[in-house]
A and B are shown apart, each in its own frame.
Chain A
């Protein structure tokens, strides 16, 4: 038997269908036997015509008669040509690896699924999911599927390569030759088709028309296809009109990227703004510019802006000085080498810069010094005070001729007189004592204030201020005359009336005021044991003096924790005074003070230091008093317009408070006489937190001289022109501008500033403040 002859392999034996497995064995055996032309009379067996590799490169021709089963030509080899004489079932050419398979009728679902090489020629329509998951392996020619009619749904799903040609001839559904939704997931290959379609997966495929090369290819291969299915006659009909052919080609990955349609920017302009109007959604309501701003912005878009607040706030020293001395300004002058100016400046505020600032004042300025918040020693103003002896008396203003009677030549009276004199008026001190100075000269012990210092300052005063020594305490009538004669009267009589609490035996006690007065004149005596009732600063002074006068023990008693402090307390303690509290006096006997608790304190001398009261016998009833003190307003004016009252006559206080009151009253009197109504706005004190103390030596125990003080002053609230801000500003936005008369200013270029606040954070003096920018609507 010639192997060139066709062998017929039946699909049934004795009317019984041969199993697919057995038929496959017989086909493979025929092949092994050398047969190359095989007719199979099929009865629906699976996978006929595939895997015929045993023939090597020799062509094998398979004809399938009868009913072909599923997967005709599955895994077909390139040597194989399969001709199915009739329709075919599912999955024709499944995983075809090179066979040419012709179906002379329709084929059902899955034609060419996963085909990688070879050709499938269909002479009719095909069912769903044709040409799915096909590939093109570059080692081989791409696979082809030719369909004469139309294809079913989901055609070319996941198609990854190859060519499909859908001729649209005699299709069952002429309104849609591509079926429902072809090309889903298509990533490779192309589909020629002729006839209408109802859409495809646009994100995967794009529609084109054949170019010349493609048309040439189609023309050439169409001949081959039509020959194979025996319908060459259709060529002219199918290819007559090039314009009815279209191509669906897979989009390349980069063509798939990004959402389809226009981009957002164009949508914004062409759709959004067009529908809503210029400015978009809120263009009618907002005047704000649109458009993005940078996170770090300058100018009006800064969230914060720095302000150079030079001398907008008082430094704490000045703010707390009752006299109002610009303490810090003086250090600044010294820093600038103007020692004399610094010294002289004090006389504009007080006639006692040395006596009070240098010795007697508890220095509230130092107590409030910002440096203390970092445990640094306060700038020592007493050093500067003591240096004030060299101060040059300023020339008074031109004489005005107005005369002011000042009753009392103590600290308050001398202060007001000094100020009025400097303003060109003629103050006249009225005092019974020959020596001016009030309590400073009369009662404060010598160990607290050297005589030469006091004398120097009193001499300076006396040279300027006339003093009328009264022969006796002023009477109401004499006061009335002064009131008439002078343009203004200032009552500065102090508190000269010692208070005595009427304990049984109080007549045995001496008032501290009287004791100190006598002691100052060396006319006082004390016994060995001294008890002082009242342990305030006056009591302390009395204690020190008692020791000086020979006392062996001094005990101070108080009904509460003693209010004494400062040098007075220190001196008393150093001398050996004992403090007892709370203690309540019952009776003063000739030898002791007996307490309510039963304790007996031996006492040869008893001093009562429980405060003093003004002696206001001369005061007309029209001038109001309260609890023995004169009532005044904030400028120390009494209820009588021309009469002012200051110092202890108004309320008990420190020397500096009396001096400050004098200064304030003088200002009011000056304004009154000159007929002005000035307002004196007190600047607020600076927040000490703004001042940076890290710039100073933390180990400095104390200041030794005015020069080191000047260097150590933090210059709170007043620019010291160090230039740090200018240097530190990251944006170089700060610059120093010269102003008239040597003044200067640091200014910010808002177009450069980003509002970082470095200037405020670093400024040693707390001048810069970072504040919120004005709100934008």
Chain B
């Protein structure tokens, strides 16, 4: 309420907020840790007046009042300080005296979170728990029909190809005639990212890169990391670890002059170049790194001054059509590394994706197509884009794959799919489903943040403040006070655990199918779903 006791349209009570902070006076030791840690100052120390009426039994004397004061924790109710439910208060409380709980009804904050005429912007996720990928089952189990494999103990070679694969006769001809063979990378089917240096904190980014290097060099798993837009630290560009990295170029071209300057000193070619045309979080909208995240470090890597907003246009400004994009952009990027590096576009999943794909099939330099579905995205976006824009990934991957089958090129141009892979924790199952629908591999971001750094976000709109630099885990903050909470080594360690366990789970899915040496790309006869419409749409088995 307002200080003068008057209501305003946006006066809210705690009951109106999405999260209510439960505080126990009984348990609280007034240690101050919760108010010190709260990322948005949703709680504050409060002074509370207490009144006890003293009424003697028998009313033999005049009743009296005893007033007292106690101190405790109070939840703020103004829009700017609404609790985000991250639960850091609970995490640091020595007595478990405080915890946010989710409102039992739709909150009223949503009608007011546009103060000053600025619609809500946030990071995180769509806040939609449903997942079609989760409901896909793997129904083809090799019972005496195929070699039965043991996921835990048999050796598997789960690899996929990123690059343009020429048909055999064509490959033979090129080899014979000494022509150009498109570069192809044999990589692990789980690509991390794309997540930019800037969107992620330095500790998070370094931890992930270190984990990727470890997976490659110590465990022999060719896992790749896609940078997102925002460049790549100069040292990394000049290291052998560059070969584990897919460099992204997007409409803001941030960091690319630094990459160009590093070209003469590169020890290795990058794994690939991803040209970003769209992403799942904000399809058709550009990125925006807010000025307060652009510190000296970010500025140096992106090649810009500090403290400025870094908007990326919604589209590449010199591209007007698919034809142009393919012709110019892929060609330029291929040329930068002497046509030794696969170059592919990444688009938001869209009902127009097939047009893009068809064009790519006709372009000899196009190495793949990456599509990011509506559930994708980790960065800053308008709520409206996050929640309501974009195409689900499953259907579009299926359409794309079947389209390739129709023209006989399903083995020539790989499709990579992202967006909500593992959104409910089922990373391997979702990945396997997409692969069997036709993807050659998947990209995952949010799951990686959650699993390898303890991101607190959830589909219940918990935390989701990745965009404002206050990430309580230090994952998406550029403030050393926050990002130094995160130990890169521990992130790397977790990432390794996550990928190794993903690997086991993926094997647990593909082994019963009798596959151990090649991914079951497009093996849709192994899939079933108990939704007849979905089954029909995806061309998979309807099972009950």
Contact = CB atoms under 8 A, between A and B. Distances in A.
Contacts of B233: 281-282, 285
B517 interface: no
B274 interface: no
B154 A698 contact: no
Interface in A252-300: 259-262, 264-265, 267-268, 271-272, 275-277, 280-286, 288-297
A282 B202 contact: yes
Interface stretch (B177-185, B235-243, B526-534): B235-243
A292 B154 contact: no
B30 A259 contact: no
A754 B32 contact: yes
A692 B47 contact: yes
B493 interface: yes
Nearest to A372: B4
A281 B213 contact: no
A597 to B, nearest CB: 36
A276 B3 contact: no
Given A184-B154, A762-B45, A777-B296, A756 B33 contact: yes
B71 A259 contact: no
Contacts of A699: 65
B155 A295 contact: no
A276 B47 contact: no
Interface string B482-498: 10111111001100100
Nearest to B492: A264
Instruction: Kindly state the interface size class of chain A when it binds its partner.
Output: 35 or more
Contacts of A304: 36
Nearest to A687: B3
B86 to A, nearest CB: 12
A776 B474 CA distance: 14
A275 B49 contact: no
A775 interface: yes
Contacts of B16: none
Contacts of B213: 267, 271-272
Contacts of A695: 47, 49, 69
A425 to B, nearest CB: 44
Nearest to B472: A295
Contacts of A697: 67
Contacts of B458: none
Given A184-B154, A201-B155, A280 B30 contact: no
Contacts, number: 183
Given A284-B235, A293-B485, A730 B32 contact: yes
A241 interface: no
Contact of B500 (A259, A303, A756, A776): A259
Interface in B64-119: 65, 67, 69, 71, 88, 91-92
A276 B480 contact: no
Nearest to B206: A281
A193 B295 CA distance: 63
A184 B153 contact: yes
Interface in A403-456: none
Nearest to A286: B297
B199 to A, nearest CB: 16
11 contacts: A264-B489, A268-B492, A281-B233, A285-B233, A292-B486, A302-B36, A695-B69, A698-B49, A754-B32, A754-B36, A775-B295
Interface of A: 157-158, 181, 184-185, 201, 204, 259-262, 264-265, 267-268, 271-272, 275-277, 280-286, 288-297, 301-304, 373, 375, 688-689, 692, 694-695, 697-699, 728-731, 754-758, 760-762, 764, 773, 775-777
Interface of B: 3-5, 29-33, 35-37, 44-49, 65, 67, 69, 71, 88, 91-92, 150, 152-155, 202, 205-206, 209-211, 213-214, 217-219, 233-236, 239-241, 295-297, 300-301, 479-482, 484-489, 492-493, 496, 500
Closest 3 CB pairs of A and B: A756-B32, A761-B45, A185-B153
Given A260-B218, A294-B485, 12 more contacts: A260-B219, A261-B219, A267-B213, A271-B217, A272-B210, A280-B235, A281-B233, A282-B233, A292-B485, A761-B71, A776-B480, A777-B297
